[in-house]
Amino acid sequence: MRSNEIPLIDFLLLGGGLASATAAETLRTAGAEGSIAILCAETTPPYHRPPLSKSFLLNGPDQTNILVHDEAFYRDREIDIHLGARVCRVDVESHTIETDRDHFRFGKLLIATGASVDRLAVPGAHLRGIHYLRNVNDALSLYESILHARRAVVIGASFLGMELAAALVTRGVATTLIAREDLVYEKLRSPEVSAFFTGYFRNET
């Protein structure tokens, strides 16, 4: 495909999270008149991730609105969203992007794809019933499993791990938390805070 046949997007934003949605909104608010497009590997428009470990698991997907904006917001501001578009190659010299189905040229590029899940590298890590939480599909799978679960193990005592443990207990699932750190919320480097929340969660369970 010749470069002049590839559609040009003035502001191309990679990633379907809050960063891309906010960047697109800010560009229009600041008066940007060029074309804006968001490329997202997921099939859900840009959404907030924090509720996935809290209200989404507690109340269910039908009672939790995680979208940053509705479809009308993007349509009214002429912001295109390409869902299910996984980027395979970025060429900064030619200002081109290749996805698994299309090619694009860009004037300005924002890469806001976020982090990836750190998966367990232990025997049995691929057995049924093991969940990770990064995107809305992960949250939906976990929510459906909780409906039938009586016991659960959460690995990790970070904010996300503690939120998941709290949500599971609230849903009536007997939960054990395992962490390699000596303290919960270890990155805060506050033994007092860690001791407080350790006691709090133990009392709740």
For the chain, the structural domain boundaries read: 3-111, 149-204
Band the pLDDT of 64: cuts 50, 70, 90. Answer: very high
Place of tokens 């791990």: 161
Lowest mean pLDDT among 104-118, 154-168, 189-203: 189-203
Pairing of strands 79-82, 87-91: unpaired
Q: Does domain 3-111 fall into CATH 3.50.50.60?
A: yes
Residues 6+ apart with CB under 8 A from 123: none
pLDDT higher than 60, residue 1: no
**The pTM is what?**
0.86
Residues 6+ apart with CB under 8 A from 102: 82, 85
Domain 149-204, CATH: 3.50.50.60
pLDDT tens figures, 159-180:
899 999 999 999 999 999 998 8
E strand or H helix at 151: strand 151-155
For 24, half-sphere exposure in the C-beta direction (CA atoms, 13 angstrom radius) is: 31
Gyration radius of the chain over CA positions = 21
pLDDT tens figures, 118-160:
888 889 888 889 999 999 999 999 999 999 999 999 998 888 9
**3-111 and 149-204 agree in CATH topology:** yes
Across 72-92, average pLDDT: 95
